[in-house]
Amino acid sequence: MSTLSALQQQFAQDSAKLIAYAATQGFAVTLGEAWRSPEQAQWNAEHGSGIANSLHCQRLAIDLNLFKDGVYLTGKDGYDVLGAWWKALGPGHCWGGDFTRADYDHYSITPDGGRTQ
């Protein structure tokens, strides 16, 4: 099992690869939320817009804003291409499009190989 620090470093490297891959697919990317305080995660959970135990709090998740031809993409299209590529990087790589309540711009690594999200 990796230490949290080692997993955070892997996540940072893999996130850079994801952004570079997005560019090869003709997408532009801006950064969304990468770190979230536990207090913010709790507030989000209480207001129905997230979970209290967010991987953002452990620096193991990032939200990416995706653009194609200058247009911000808000649906599944485009994100699904990146999500499939992201998940192929390893067993703990999760894409928010697979969540019960889809979160298409979310990419994360779980410390337990995907059992928690």
CB-based contacts of 79, cutoff 8 Å, min separation 6:
66, 73, 95, 97, 104, 105
Q: Which domain holds residue 103?
A: 4-109
Q: Give the number of domains in the chain.
A: 1
pLDDT above 80 (res 116): no
Residue 38 lies in a domain: yes
pLDDT tier at 1, thresholds 50, 70, 90: very low
Phi and psi dihedrals of 8, rounded to 5? -65, -40
Q: Within a domain: residue 117?
A: no
pLDDT tens-place string over residues 33-63: 999 999 999 999 999 988 999 999 999 999 9
Within a domain: residue 114? no
Residue 10 lies in a domain: yes
In this structure, the number of other CB atoms found within 10 A of the CB of residue 85 comes to: 17
Within a domain: 24: yes
The reported pTM is 0.90
Q: Tokens for 97, please give them.
A: 């499009």
User: CATH code at 63?
Assistant: 3.30.1380.10
